[in-house]
Amino acid sequence: MISTSDFKKGMRYEDEGVPFQVMEFTVHNPSARGAATLVKAKVRNLISGQVLQRTYKSGDMFTQPDLSVRQVQFLYPDGSDFVFMDQETYEQYSVSPAIIGSLTDWLSDGFEAKLMSFNGQFIQVEPPTSLVVAVSYVEPAAKGDTASGKVMAKARLANGIEMLVPAFIKEGSEIKVDPSTNEYLGRA
């Protein structure tokens, strides 16, 4: 069992049959005598991805969720699903696009991720924190926008995704990007 006094950033717990992950939490002591201490938590529903604000009484108890995380590698699309291989057991799993979400644009041969399941059902594909991708096209940067010190240009990556990159990035360059936010992180 997990208590609210055990809460830590990143900790996972199950509430009303749904797995949650603690993103932030604060403990509030009301000034009224005899009032219970409250724990206000910002949590993420691991099935839907929705971020919620929850308030619990100090000492509320939760169960440990039946979560399993596997390190997997993308192999190929199979109809509407995508096939991943467990890197330890070499077992193959078919995952629906609903679980992968916006990561489908990033899937290429050798893409590695973490595949999370809850009670035996796949619920989430967690990408790596950064990927190295080649830039296939860069639009000329708009001149005169130097007040911010960052002149940005629109670029198309080798996988077809468009994003803003600094103007000094040229076609053929390799850059590091965050696949979960589609943001430029730096040169490779």
- Mean residue pLDDT of the chain comes to 88
Torsion of Cα atoms, 127 then 93 then 85 then 126, to 10°? 10
The pair of three-digit structure tokens given for residue 53, joined into one six-digit string: 């604000």
Sheet hosting strand 174-178, strand order edge to edge: 162-166, 152-157, 131-138, 174-178, 183-187
> Are 114 and 143 members of one domain?
no
Instruction: Among 126, 147, 175, give the residue marking a domain's end.
Output: 126
Q: Give residue 142's pLDDT.
A: 65
> Are 30 and 79 members of one domain?
no
Instruction: Among 94, 126, 158, give the residue marking a domain's end.
Output: 126
Q: Give the number of domains in the chain.
A: 3
> Are 112 and 99 members of one domain?
yes
Instruction: Among 62, 84, 101, give the residue marking a domain's end.
Output: 62
> Are 89 and 39 members of one domain?
no
The pair of three-digit structure tokens given for residue 90, joined into one six-digit string: 């070499």
Q: Give residue 155's pLDDT.
A: 92
Query: Mean of the pLDDT values across residues 155-159?
Result: 90
- Side chain identity at 183, as an amino acid letter? E
> Are 73 and 98 members of one domain?
yes
Residues 6+ apart with CB under 8 A from 98: none
Long-range contacts of range 11-16, CB-CB < 8 Å, 24 or more positions apart?
12/46, 12/64, 12/65, 12/67, 13/62, 13/63, 13/64, 13/65, 14/62, 14/63, 14/64, 14/65, 14/66, 15/54, 15/62
> Are 31 and 82 members of one domain?
no
> Are 87 and 114 members of one domain?
yes
Query: Mean of the pLDDT values across residues 34-44?
Result: 84
pTM: 0.75
Q: Give residue 72's pLDDT.
A: 95
Kindly tell me if the per-residue pLDDT of 114 is higher than 90. Answer: yes
21-25, 82-86, 151-155: which range is least confident on average? 151-155
For residue 79, give its domain range.
Answer: 69-126
Kindly tell me if the per-residue pLDDT of 19 is higher than 70. Answer: yes
> Are 122 and 136 members of one domain?
no
Q: Give residue 58's pLDDT.
A: 86
